[in-house]
Structure 1
Amino acid sequence: MQYKTLNPDKLYLITGAAGFIGYYLSKNLLEQGCRVIGIDNVNDYYDINLKYSRLKKLEPFEQFSFIKGDISDKEFINGVFKEYKPNIVVNLAAQAGVRYSIENPDVYIQSNVNGFYNILEACRHNPVDHLVYASSSSVYGSNKKVPFEETDFVDQPVSLYASTKKTNELMAHTYSHLYKIPATGLRFFTVYGPMGRPDMAYFGFTDKYFAGEPIKIFNNGDTNNDLYRDFTYIDDIVTGIERVISNSPADTVPHNLYNIGNNKPVKLMEFVETLEKALSKALGKEIMFEKIYEPIKPGDVPATFASTEKLQKDVGFKPKTPIEVGLQEFADWYVSYYRVK
């Protein structure tokens, strides 16, 4: 089956363009000759220098325009849509993090709910060919049935972050139904890679090692009852998004949902050991993390495991990068970026 490629004649609006996924998606689109408008408020949830480093890599592209602003500012968003009239909108701007949503709930409602509402309203009044937005594997909560399928019951989220992502899916479905907005939600599964988010475990573990501090592992030290995660490499995420932008049957159904995960969950301890090996290779000497074991944190789930059958059937893509390859790419980047050799 032949799958459509990106249309360089379309104008792509990407929110969260200074973020991890937003940067890589923008870069890939630009490398294929597409015009991209990037929006980001460059907040300080994590190191803004990393966000500006990503944006700096996008500056050489003549087809890229960056506008600093917040999607929760309705007037700002309406102004961008009216001026640029984007054809494709990819909403990746969101307040991320499960644990942080317990400490600071206000920003999740402001960005993830109010901000997404503003995007939907802008798409309603300035019709677009396709709205693609980030959901999350966290909507599956503590589902026992694996692998997680898009048709599973997801009405019992165990964190506010997950609740906001489920809310996004409901809002998108309603707007799609009422105003015929072609919309697709993507449930991402534990995305990792170079230039990733410092609040993610693999990045935090690496920071702790170079700071001479122990890492905390939330599995009570029980490797028989370990946490499982479906770790998905950033290149696979971006390829999946691009395929969905071009090939999702969004024009024939009002609202679609896809998992984008590796379909191969890995035990947390196996992931830690693979990271140790990757950093050892990057540094040219054997390293090992000092580990402290603690109980699982509120809001965390014991396992994530994506079924990718629907994605493969509709757009012909299945993530496939093994963690050994992905973590080596991250380790090599980290050692170079932070000059830790």
Structure 2
Amino acid sequence: MARALITGITGQDGLYLAELLLSKGYEVYGLMRGQNNPKRALLEETVPDVKILTGDLTDLSSLLRALNASQPDEFYNLGAISFVAYSWENAHLTSEVTGMGVLNALEAVRLYEGTTGKQVRFYQASSSEMFGKVQQVPQNEDTLLWPRSPYGVAKVYGHYMTINYRESYGMHASSGVLFNHESPRRGPEFVTRKVSQAVARIHLGLQDELVLGNLDARRDWGFAGDYVEAMWLMLQQDEADDYVISTGETHTIRALLDAAFGAVGVEDWSGFVRQDPAFMRPAEVDLLIGDSAKAERKLGWKPKVSFTELVTMMVESDLAEQKKLAGLS
């Protein structure tokens, strides 16, 4: 039975990846910070077969203990402080977890391999935010990185450190440069879930308006459930490499609003949405669109869920959740 260790197990990607690996017969271990983690109950309810280990990306010794306990064939490093807006408020912590945490994970794997003689295939969750001030459209594996947030800078550090460990130590270490990927499991602080949740509440009469920042920012949005399959496929290759994972389509926040309000039969949403400069980024990333031709060619991977299907899925999920919370039939 193959074994996998996942950091960031309580995030949307961690949950979808755990489900995928369990369906393939893996023994799955999830690394979680702290004994009283508020997301532990969600993890145990969603994927009860995952074996939970405690540890922290900022603590190398805890990562070594987790490796010794799980003895994994594959290590998926999904753990990060991943909310971009927060990274300006706490750049140091973001750098420690999202950047240095990757170095700790890689070093722990290197030391574990050295003492056990067992190869661990390593996946690093890189991000399209690394492209930032984009230097070419669309972006592929060879596009110059120009991050525009502390989060993006930290992800660039982890990305290049993964390449360095692959080249320096011969580790099977791959990076997936994933463009924006969403799901009903996305945190409500992210704009897609903020929109889907607000649309559901407005439709049910529980909320009057939705306040957003830049409505013209464009993103390449896909379904997280599709993207975790790409992660797994990367670690099944004979040679480690880096891959852009995207839909190749771009949509504005306005198009997101069109799709979300359209899911509840509202064509003109202007009366429900208000812009507030407080939600504008200090340095905006205006256009992200990925070219995942390499992943399609080498991994045989293509996204399955369309943009409209994704947004509709999220709105319908939030409608059900909000009805339940409000005690509506």
TM-score (normalizing by structure 1): 0.84
Please tell me whether the aligned partners of residues 216 and 293 of structure 1 are also in contact (alpha carbons under 8 angstroms).
yes
Equivalents in 2 of 1:268, 1:51: separation in Å? 32
Equivalents in 1 of 2:198, 2:54: separation in Å? 32
Deviation of residue 18 (structure 1)? 0.9
Please tell me whether the aligned partners of residues 188 and 259 of structure 1 are also in contact (alpha carbons under 8 angstroms).
yes
Identify the residue that residue 292 of structure 2 maps to in structure 1: 308
User: What residue ranges of structure 2 are gaps of 5+ in the alignment?
Assistant: 114-118
RMSD across aligned positions (CA): 2.3
Please tell me whether the aligned partners of residues 31 and 66 of structure 2 are also in contact (alpha carbons under 8 angstroms).
no
Letter in 1 for 2:122: L
Equivalents in 2 of 1:177, 1:55: separation in Å? 38
Please tell me whether the aligned partners of residues 195 and 333 of structure 1 are also in contact (alpha carbons under 8 angstroms).
no
TM-score (normalizing by structure 2): 0.87
**Is 1:57 equivalent to 2:39 in the alignment?**
no
Identify the residue that residue 35 of structure 1 maps to in structure 2: 27
1:100-157 alpha-carbon deviations (Å, 9 max, x no partner): 1001112212211232121111110122331011010001011142110110111x21
Distance 1:196 1:248, change over 3 A: farther
Deviation of residue 67 (structure 1)? 1.5
User: What residue ranges of structure 1 are gaps of 5+ in the alignment?
Assistant: 1-8, 251-255
Distance 1:165 1:141, change over 3 A: same
Letter in 1 for 2:153: S
Identify the residue that residue 202 of structure 1 maps to in structure 2: 192
Distance 1:199 1:42, change over 3 A: farther
Q: Using the TM superposition, name which of 121-130 and 285-294 deviates more.
A: 285-294
Paired residue for 2:258, among 232, 253, 273? Answer: 273
Identify the residue that residue 4 of structure 2 maps to in structure 1: 12
Deviation of residue 87 (structure 1)? 1.1
Give runs of aligned pairs for residues 35-184 of structure 1, distance below 5 A: 35-41=27-33, 52-59=41-48, 61=49, 64-127=50-113, 128-154=119-145, 156-184=146-174
Count of residues in Structure 1 that have an aligned counterpart in Structure 2:
312
Deviation of residue 337 (structure 1)? 2.8
Deviation of residue 269 (structure 1)? 0.6
**Is 1:233 equivalent to 2:219 in the alignment?**
no
Deviation of residue 190 (structure 1)? 1.2
Please tell me whether the aligned partners of residues 262 and 321 of structure 1 are also in contact (alpha carbons under 8 angstroms).
no
Deviation of residue 286 (structure 1)? 8.3
Letter in 1 for 2:167: H
Please tell me whether the aligned partners of residues 249 and 314 of structure 1 are also in contact (alpha carbons under 8 angstroms).
no
**Is 1:218 equivalent to 2:208 in the alignment?**
no
**Is 1:293 equivalent to 2:254 in the alignment?**
no
Identify the residue that residue 319 of structure 1 maps to in structure 2: 303
1:268-322 alpha-carbon deviations (Å, 9 max, x no partner): 21111101122x16xxx88946112356422330111000111111101121421
Equivalents in 2 of 1:323, 1:50: separation in Å? 28
Matched residue SS, 1:109: helix
Letter in 1 for 2:252: K
State the identity %.
22
Please tell me whether the aligned partners of residues 197 and 318 of structure 2 are also in contact (alpha carbons under 8 angstroms).
no
Please tell me whether the aligned partners of residues 15 and 22 of structure 1 are also in contact (alpha carbons under 8 angstroms).
yes
Distance 1:238 1:71, change over 3 A: same
Equivalents in 1 of 2:153, 2:35: separation in Å? 22
Equivalents in 2 of 1:248, 1:275: separation in Å? 41
Identify the residue that residue 243 of structure 1 maps to in structure 2: 233
Matched residue SS, 2:177: strand
Give runs of aligned pairs for residues 323-334 of structure 1, distance below 5 A: 323-334=307-318
Please tell me whether the aligned partners of residues 262 and 320 of structure 1 are also in contact (alpha carbons under 8 angstroms).
no
Give runs of aligned pairs for residues 185-200 of structure 1, distance below 5 A: 185-200=175-190
